[in-house]
């Protein structure tokens, strides 16, 4: 067994891009080829496994009769053997099917559920693997260790981290297995070419039955495609499934909703023509082989990191406090730098004390020195010298442009009418920060201030303003129409190419709207840190805000407009 510190994952953009291309190609091939997948699987999850395969575009057959298994094993494109509900009769049918696949050199996936914990299944599966090695083994760390002859876990639960199973995985490769997929908080894909780490998914997957079973079936489907090897199939299926889980978790209220949402997300990903531009995939090395490479531990992987530069809110409903709450809700580590101490509540702003620019720079530099920031949000700045200080810090982080996404929320005026950005700072905001920003997120009033004109509170007015801001130099623009009247809450997004997207959701009738702009922009930042593309990050962030508004819709405990982030959607609670 290896210690945690003996295994490291190294971020590799080339590996991530190759993974993205593989995922896109295999998604298309599954839709075109509709691989036939024979599933000899856990009786508890037969229905959900079949539904997951159908959602992805594959064709499942759940045949368990011994004679039919032999015939089908020769015809199917892929096969899953899942020993979750093990019995003597089922073991016989599995053995018949495995022998046919092995004799014909056809791919099959083994999910060794609870091997090592129960003697009969352990003895059976060890004998089968010794004679007929599977193409892919998919299991948790304890199951992989037990499959290589070590000590198993507690039932279906692993008692060790995925990195501890790497020696066992390499032993299985030596026995003829082509790829080993070790599931955990960080998934590891082990092949003769090395080890890849995948850092996607959601903790709520541990609260449903059949997540691993669905993943194993999806691996069998991808392995059954033409010209796809076992390692690529394991990686693609893991990415497909874990990305779908992340998407489903954003709007789910708990395990039940996650299950339904997971099927929808698998289906949606299968139909999409574009795949996330940033995937969290890296190579894994032994520490002694890579002492010169920036290192990240696999068993305690660095989470996505987002940073906010903003003013405070002592009530916690807006500003820096709301940003950090949002980061945590979306499972992103949050760092911060305070620009101003603001005495405010839900009734209004009483006083603002800006910090010295030198102190603001010192905070930002301290964060950049120690943390690898993935995405940054800029909120309230207040005055010109602070705008200059922040811009200088950012320019020092890259060759003309910082190496991370920047969401600029141009906080200018509080809801109560208090000026939060001085007039002389507005020009500097345009000159120094807008060119550095990946996205600006003004509301209707802020867009009017930036453009120096009135904007009609209509969809056409928002679109015209977003396009004009884009034409004036903003790379991407999200003009928020939350303060407009109407049944729908409309925002307009213009991307870097100038494409216009009108985004609408049912308006939530609630007085608890304090901090909505802060929460939305920080949610976009968090989702970008996780690797979502811009349109997806904005769409999911808007849904997150809507969920938050709905969750606290009836609460009344402040004298003014209450905070929007009173109750987190259940799945997002720490």
Cα R_g (the chain), whole angstroms: 26
CA end-to-end span of the chain, whole Å? 31
Cα dist from 555 to 70, 346, 511, 551, whole Å:
61, 14, 9, 9
CB 26 within 8 A of CB 241: no
CA atoms within 13 A on the CB side of 523: 27
138 is in an annotated binding site: yes
Query: Would you please indicate which residues are annotated as catalytic (active-site) residues?
Result: 480, 513, 515-518
Strands (E), 66-116: 78-82, 109-111
List, in order, residues 6 or more apart from 134 with CB less than 8 Å away: 81, 98, 108, 109, 110, 177
List, in order, residues 6 or more apart from 223 with CB less than 8 Å away: 78, 107, 108, 109, 135, 136, 230, 233, 234
Tokens of 351: 């006083």
Partners of residue 115 on adjacent β-strands: 118
CA-based nearest residue to 260, from 269, 248, 272 = 248
The DSSP line for 377-406 is: EE----SHHHHHHHHHHHHTTTTSS-SSEE
* Distance, CA of 265 to CA of 276 (rounded, Å): 14
CB 514 within 8 A of CB 415: yes
List, in order, residues 6 or more apart from 32 with CB less than 8 Å away: none
* Distance, CA of 572 to CA of 5 (rounded, Å): 30
Cα dist from 186 to 36, 202, 239, 242, 392, whole Å:
29, 10, 12, 10, 36
Cα dist from 432 to 123, 306, 308, 396, 481, whole Å:
67, 21, 18, 13, 26
210 is in an annotated binding site: yes
| Beta carbons within 10 angstroms of residue 96's beta carbon | 18
Tracing tokens 């991808």 back to the chain, one arrives at 222
Tokens of 487: 């049944």
Sign (positive or negative) of CA dihedral 539, 476, 200, 218: positive
Give the residue ranges of the annotated binding site for substrate: 62, 210
Give the residue ranges of the annotated binding site: 62, 138, 183, 210
Give the residue ranges of the annotated binding site for ATP: 138, 183
């Amino acid at each position: 067994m290896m210690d945690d510190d003996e295994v490291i994952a190294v971020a590799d953009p080339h590996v991530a891009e190759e993974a993205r291309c593989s995922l896109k190609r295999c998604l298309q091939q599954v839709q075109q080829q509709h691989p036939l997948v024979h599933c000899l699987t856990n009786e508890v999850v037969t229905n959900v496994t079949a539904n997951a395969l159908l959602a992805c575009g594959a064709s499942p057959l759940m045949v368990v009769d011994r004679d039919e298994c032999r015939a089908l094993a020769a015809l199917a494109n892929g096969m899953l053997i899942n020993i979750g509900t093990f019995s003597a009769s089922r073991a016989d049918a599995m053995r018949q099917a495995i022998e046919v696949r092995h004799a014909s050199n056809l791919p099959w996936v083994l999910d060794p559920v609870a091997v090592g914990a129960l003697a009969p299944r352990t003895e059976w599966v060890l004998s089968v693997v010794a004679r007929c090695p599977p193409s892919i083994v998919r299991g948790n760390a304890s199951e992989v260790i037990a499959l290589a002859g070590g000590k198993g876990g507690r039932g279906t639960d692993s008692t060790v981290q995925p990195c501890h199973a790497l020696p066992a995985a390499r032993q299985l490769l030596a026995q003829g297995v082509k790829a080993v997929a070790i599931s955990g908080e960080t998934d590891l894909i082990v092949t003769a070419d090395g080890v890849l780490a995948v850092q996607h998914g959601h903790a709520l997957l541990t609260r449903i039955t059949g997540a691993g079973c669905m993943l194993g079936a999806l691996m069998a489907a991808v392995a059954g495609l033409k010209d796809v090897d076992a390692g690529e199939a394991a990686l693609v299926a893991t990415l497909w499934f874990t990305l779908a889980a992340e998407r489903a978790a954003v709007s789910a209220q708990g395990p039940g909703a996650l299950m339904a949402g997971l099927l929808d997300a698998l289906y949606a990903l299968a139909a999409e023509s574009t795949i996330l531009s940033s995937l969290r995939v890296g190579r894994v090395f032994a520490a002694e082989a890579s002492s010169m490479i920036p290192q990240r531990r696999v068993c305690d992987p660095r989470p996505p990191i987002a940073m906010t530069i903003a003013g405070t809110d002592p009530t916690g409903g807006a500003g820096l406090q709301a940003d950090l709450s949002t980061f945590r809700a979306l499972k992103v580590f949050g760092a911060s730098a305070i620009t101003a101490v603001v005495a405010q509540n839900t009734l209004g702003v009483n006083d603002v004390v800006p910090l010295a620019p030198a102190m603001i720079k010192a905070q930002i530099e301290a964060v950049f020195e120690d943390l690898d920031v993935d995405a940054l949000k800029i909120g309230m700045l207040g005055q010109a010298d602070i705008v200059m200080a922040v811009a200088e810090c950012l320019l020092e982080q890259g060759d003309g442009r910082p190496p991370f996404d920047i969401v600029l929320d141009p906080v200018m005026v509080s809801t109560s009418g208090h000026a939060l950005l001085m007039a002389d700072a507005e020009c500097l905001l345009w000159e120094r920060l807008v060119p550095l920003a990946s996205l600006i997120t003004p509301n209707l009033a802020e867009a009017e201030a930036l453009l120096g004109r009135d904007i009609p509170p209509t969809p056409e007015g928002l679109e015209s303003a977003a396009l004009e801001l884009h034409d004036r130099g903003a790379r991407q623009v999200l003009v928020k129409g939350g303060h407009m009247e109407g049944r729908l809450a409309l925002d307009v997004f213009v991307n870097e190419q100038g494409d216009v997207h009108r985004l609408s959701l049912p308006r939530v009738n609630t007085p608890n709207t304090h901090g909505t702009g802060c929460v939305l922009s920080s949610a976009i930042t968090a989702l970008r840190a996780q690797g979502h593309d811009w349109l997806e990050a904005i769409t999911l962030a808007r849904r997150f805000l809507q969920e938050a508004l709905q969750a606290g819709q009836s609460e009344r405990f402040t004298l003014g407009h209450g905070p929007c982030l009173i109750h987190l959607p259940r799945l997002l609670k720490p």
